[in-house]
Structure 1
Amino acid sequence: MPERITSVQNPRIKAAAKLRQRRAREQQGRTIIDGVREIDRALAKGFPLLELFLCDEMLVGAEADALRNRVDSQRDLNVYEITRDVCEKLSFGERAEGAVAVANYPDTALDASVLSASPLIVVLEGVEKPGNLGAILRTADAVGADCMIAADARTDLFNPNAIRASLGTIFAVPTFEATTAETFAFLRAAGVQMFAARVEGAVSYEQVSFAGPTALILGSEAEGLSGRWLADDVTNIRLPMRGIADSLNVSTTAAVLLYEADRQRQH
């Protein structure tokens, strides 16, 4: 039987709750995962969970049943039964679903072994908002992108809000972190054609071919892309803007480009 925890003052609960703060995540080398679907996807992809906290009375529905079944099949998983009060202490805002997990940060070093013969790579430079990171990961997963690279990121990749916004797809898409210089060198070594999305891009995205090995490079909404991507082997592309706005949200831009790349690759 799992150990039962009934107090929000339990040291294990207090340590887990601190992981809402970036400093604590960096100090502990751990993150916290909210949600039935997200935890189930982490387990399905073999993401090593250190602790799993479950509130039985809150676990309802088909997805909760699927998570229970998966947990029952795991042998070396530290599972704790918690009360509703403890679950609400651990969970993000009012989104308590009865399942919260703690996991070590994975290795996010660049790894060319995940690339296919004709890879599709997403690069986000200077990303600040974990919600955008998560949304882009969902699209990257949907189109079967090989990996996502956060270059000079300003948020931690496995921020619990990014995990939640990705709906757990962060566990399915290889996700790396590197400097912009390291990322540029990695892409060159991989032999991919590089397309940088810029408001002032010389070529419309509709006029280029993403059919071969491709990297789509996007910058932060606040600052766009750095000058490092103004290189001879990088094509600057734009999305036509026919209204009064001069740009789209970065996650929307990523979705347009990724689905266009997917469309071209299916023909």
Structure 2
Amino acid sequence: MNKVISSSQNPLIRQLVQLKDKSRERKKSGLFLIEGEREITLALKGGYEFESVLFNPEIISEEQLNNLTTKQPNFIEVSTEVYQKLAYRDTTEGIIAVAKSKNHAIKDLKFSNKNPLILVAEAPEKPGNIGAILRTADAAHVDAVIIANPKTDLYNPNIIRSSVGCVFTNTVVTGSTSEIIASLKANNIHIFCAALQASVNYNTQDFTKPTAIVVGTEATGLSAEWLDNSTQNIIIPMQGEIDSMNVSVAVGILIFEAKRQRNFK
């Protein structure tokens, strides 16, 4: 028989609210919340372990729960009041998993592909942009997404939501700009920086060799350290009044040009 929690003041529920709201609690405990069937399914495919799964029987049936996973996690039935306290989305599916974080250190990144295509984003701040970038990376099946000098943790609920679970389907690592540049150079990976300075049109470059495409923030662009270590700076030609576009849109253009050159392999 499943455990049942009906009070939002239950100590476990109070702890889970902290996990939802505070990056510090996620890092300290090594746990985070995943809301929704699709996101939970992708996390399972990505090899994530669950500590428990909370569900509201008013929204989701036990049959749906059992179809979700072959492993039997610790199921906890919660009342509608408790579920609404934990849910992040307005439109929801009645299920929230408590998952264990993975290690995302750059030093542990290994390439199975001898000719990798990598996306690097330096200091992205908006979870929505990070999520959109991860969706594009999944669609293009890049070999890794590297976040340099991250401003938010990967298990921020907004990143999970906006990536529609693609944070679990990509190989994602983080590190300082210096660590990442050193790793790319050690692996003989060419560095193409999206920048206004000393740049050439992106479609004039050869992305069929080991390639890292590097993007910065819309406000400040890339740091000087990246530009000093760039194989070639690249630019997307603009025909309007402004000289930049949303970073996630730029990522889509650049990554799929690389995929086109590689015959989408």
TM over 0.5: yes
Q: Which residue of 2 aligns with 1:108?
A: 104
2:191–2:229 Cα contact (<8 Å) kept: no
Assess, with a 3 A threshold, how the Cα gap between structure 1 residues 137 and 226 changes in structure 2: closer, same or farther: same
Mean alpha-carbon deviation: is it higher for 210-219 or for 80-89? 80-89
Question: Does 1:158 pair with 2:159?
Answer: no
Match of 1:141 among 138, 155, 165: 138
Number of residue pairs matched by the alignment: 262
The C-alpha deviation readout for 1:15-61, integer Å capped at 9, x for no partner, is: 1111122232233232221221101111122211112111122127x
**Counterpart mapping for 1:40-119 below 5 A:** 40-59=41-60, 68-71=66-69, 73-75=70-72, 77-110=73-106, 111-119=108-116
Paired residue type of 1:11: P
Provide the residue aligned with 1:8 in structure 2: 8
Distance 1:219 1:69 in 2: 41
> What is the CA–CA distance in structure 1 between the aligned matches of 2:171 and 2:219, rounded to whole Å?
26
Q: Deviations over 1:101-152 (max 9, x none)?
A: 2222210112342441110111111111111111111111111101111111
Three-state SS of the structure 2 residue aligned to 1:150 is strand
Q: Which whole-Å CA distance do the structure 1 matches of 2:141 and 2:64 have between them? A: 24
**Alignment RMSD (CA, Å):** 1.8
Question: What corresponds to 1:245 in structure 2?
Answer: 242
Paired with 1:132 and 1:65, the residues of 2 have a C-alpha distance of 35
Counterpart CA distance in 1 for 2:41 and 2:64 is 8
Tell me which amino acid in the other structure corresponds to 1:151.
A
Q: Please point out which of 243, 257, 260 is paired with 1:260.
A: 257
Alpha-carbon distance between aligned partners in 1 of 2:52 and 2:198, rounded to the nearest angstrom: 47
Instruction: Look up the match of 1:196.
Output: 193
Counterpart of 2:22, as a letter, is Q
Which blocks of at least 5 consecutive residues in structure 2 are unaligned? Answer: none
Secondary structure, in 3 states, of the residue corresponding to 1:56? coil
Q: Which amino acid aligns with 2:226?
A: W
Give the unaligned 5+ runs of structure 1. none
| Counterpart contact for 2:194–2:233, Cα < 8 Å | yes
Supply the distance in 1 between the matched residues of 2:229 and 2:121 (Cα, whole angstroms): 20
Matching residue's letter, 1:227: A
Spell out structure 1 runs of 4+ moving beyond 3 A. Answer: 64-68
CA distance in 1, matches of 2:222, 2:9: 45
Alignment of 1:157-236 (within 5 A): 157-231=154-228, 233-236=230-233
User: Do the aligned residues in 2 keep the contact of 1:40 with 1:67 (CA within 8 Å)?
Assistant: no
Structure 1 residue 170, shift from structure 2 partner: 1.2
Over the matched positions of the two proteins, sequence identity in percent amounts to 40
CA gap of 1:199–1:67, structure 2 versus 1, over 3 A, is: farther
Q: List per-residue Cα deviations over 1:173-196 (Å, max 9, x = no partner).
A: 111010000000011111111100
CA contact (8 A) 2:38 2:165 kept: yes
Cα deviations across residues 192-244 of structure 1 (Å, max 9, x unaligned)?
A: 11100113351011111111111010112222100001235521001111001
- Residue identity in the other structure for 1:107: N
Query: 1:35 corresponds to which residue?
Result: 36
